[in-house]
């Protein structure tokens, strides 16, 4: 009987935690969400506002290299958006944004064209083959992204594997200039982002009810048409998810254009880097970054909108 007493006086750990949370006015469920929210606030929201703050300042030869927000050295109110005005007026930035959006858009379409048949094929395999193929899709992530891009340099270079091979079989007489061209950039981006297209498409196509295609055939619909009017519309959420997962990071991609794209490939990621490290113009660099962020937030919001819509729809 005596051994019961300690249990009655000291509560289990869970209950203690419960009381503690209640004391500061939190329900346990809210506490669980609090952790990721705190993380995101400290490491995402706050830095975003710091960047926004810097983007409204002007460059200064000092430490830190930009004007403070308040005080005698602060930027006059009428000049607070000057960096953003420069973004709109300077052709360099407009061209860079255009190039990046074009690169991202074309790469997304290429990823979709290559990824859709792959995802479709994997989804139609037997379960054991399926997991093997999915592993093969994810396998490259085990090696460093940089190393994989460098590998492409050695494949695509003048004395690279590809040129050696083509020369050896006699298709070409002199090496092709692929490295440091837009083609190399597209190869690199499509290569790097293809898994992000395949995985959401796969998870969508894998869930598809095959009896729908049988029903379509039964009603007189040929396989290709059934694919167009049944499979594609039903995989739209997967297409949207995959496309955004490719498009959004591809817009801001820095490494691939830098390494594979040659010196004249003017991309927005590169502009951010150059403004920051070469020109030491932190405010301008931040303004460029804020502008991309806004350009990407809109697609994300669209994505969320379509996701919600897809969730309202049946399975």
Options 122-130, 132-140, 149-157, 229-237: segment touching other proteins (CB under 8 A)? 229-237
Instruction: Work out whether 234 is an interface residue with other proteins (CB under 8 A).
Output: yes
**What values do phi and psi take at 197, rounded to 5?**
-85, -45
Comparing C-alpha atoms, which of 115, 97, 52 is closest to residue 282? Answer: 52
Instruction: Work out whether 73 is an interface residue with other proteins (CB under 8 A).
Output: no
- Least distance (Å) from other proteins to the CB of residue 219? 3
Options 13-21, 152-160, 222-230, 292-300: segment touching other proteins (CB under 8 A)? 222-230
Number of Cα atoms under 13 Å in the Cβ half of residue 295: 19
Considering only residues 193 through 212, tell me which ones interact with other proteins, judged by CB under 8 A. 209, 211-212
Binder to other proteins among 219, 264, 294, 311 (CB under 8 A)?
219
**Rounded CA gap, 145 and 149, in Å?**
6
Nearer to other proteins, 83 or 235 (CB): 235
Residues 6+ apart with CB under 8 A from 106: 186
**What values do phi and psi take at 80, rounded to 5?**
-65, -30
Instruction: Work out whether 230 is an interface residue with other proteins (CB under 8 A).
Output: yes
- Least distance (Å) from other proteins to the CB of residue 209? 7
Asked if residue 285 lies in contact with residue 86, where contact means CB atoms within 8 angstroms, the answer is: no
- Least distance (Å) from other proteins to the CB of residue 275? 47
- Least distance (Å) from other proteins to the CB of residue 196? 25
**Rounded CA gap, 144 and 203, in Å?**
25
Instruction: Work out whether 221 is an interface residue with other proteins (CB under 8 A).
Output: yes
**Rounded CA gap, 175 and 159, in Å?**
7
Provide the token pair at 283. Answer: 């405010």
Nearer to other proteins, 158 or 222 (CB): 222
Instruction: Work out whether 218 is an interface residue with other proteins (CB under 8 A).
Output: yes
CB burial of residue 43 (10 Å; 0-12, 13-18, 19+): exposed
Q: Judged by CB under 8 A, how many residues of this single chain contact other proteins?
A: 20
Provide the token pair at 154. Answer: 């050695």
Options 75-83, 150-158, 198-206, 227-235: segment touching other proteins (CB under 8 A)? 227-235
Binder to other proteins among 60, 176, 217, 255 (CB under 8 A)?
217
Asked if residue 137 lies in contact with residue 199, where contact means CB atoms within 8 angstroms, the answer is: yes
Residues lying near other proteins in the complex (CB under 8 A): 209, 211-212, 214-223, 225, 230, 233-234, 313-315
């Amino acid at each position: 009987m005596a051994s019961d007493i300690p249990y009655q006086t000291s509560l289990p750990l869970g209950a203690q935690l419960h009381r503690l949370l209640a004391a500061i006015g939190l329900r346990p469920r809210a506490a669980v969400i609090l952790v990721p929210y705190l993380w995101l606030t400290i490491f995402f929201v706050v830095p975003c506002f710091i960047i926004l703050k810097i983007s409204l300042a002007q460059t200064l030869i000092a430490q830190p290299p930009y004007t403070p927000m308040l005080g005698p050295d602060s930027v006059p109110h009428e000049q607070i958006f000057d960096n953003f005005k420069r973004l709109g007026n300077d052709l360099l930035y407009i061209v860079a944004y255009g190039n990046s959006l074009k690169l991202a858009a074309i790469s997304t379409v290429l990823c979709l064209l290559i990824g859709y048949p792959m995802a479709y094929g994997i989804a139609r395999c037997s379960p054991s083959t399926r997991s093997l193929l999915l592993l093969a899709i994810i396998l490259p992530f085990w090696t460093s992204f940089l190393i994989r891009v460098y590998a492409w340099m050695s494949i695509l270079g003048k004395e690279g594997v590809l040129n050696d091979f083509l020369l050896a079989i006699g298709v070409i007489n002199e090496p092709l200039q692929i490295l440091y061209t837009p083609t190399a950039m597209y190869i690199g981006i499509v290569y790097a982002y293809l898994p992000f297209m395949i995985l959401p498409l796969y998870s969508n196509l894998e869930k598809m009810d095959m009896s729908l295609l049988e029903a379509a055939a039964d009603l007189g619909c040929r396989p290709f048409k059934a694919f167009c009017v049944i499979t594609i519309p039903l995989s739209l959420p997967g297409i949207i998810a995959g496309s955004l997962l490719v498009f959004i990071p591809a817009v801001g991609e820095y490494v691939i254009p830098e390494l594979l794209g040659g010196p004249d490939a003017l991309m927005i990621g590169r502009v951010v880097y150059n403004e920051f490290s070469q020109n030491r113009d932190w405010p301008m660099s931040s303004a460029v970054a804020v502008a991309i962020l806004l350009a990407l937030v809109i697609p994300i919001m669209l994505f969320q909108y379509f996701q919600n819509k897809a969730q309202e729809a049946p399975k």
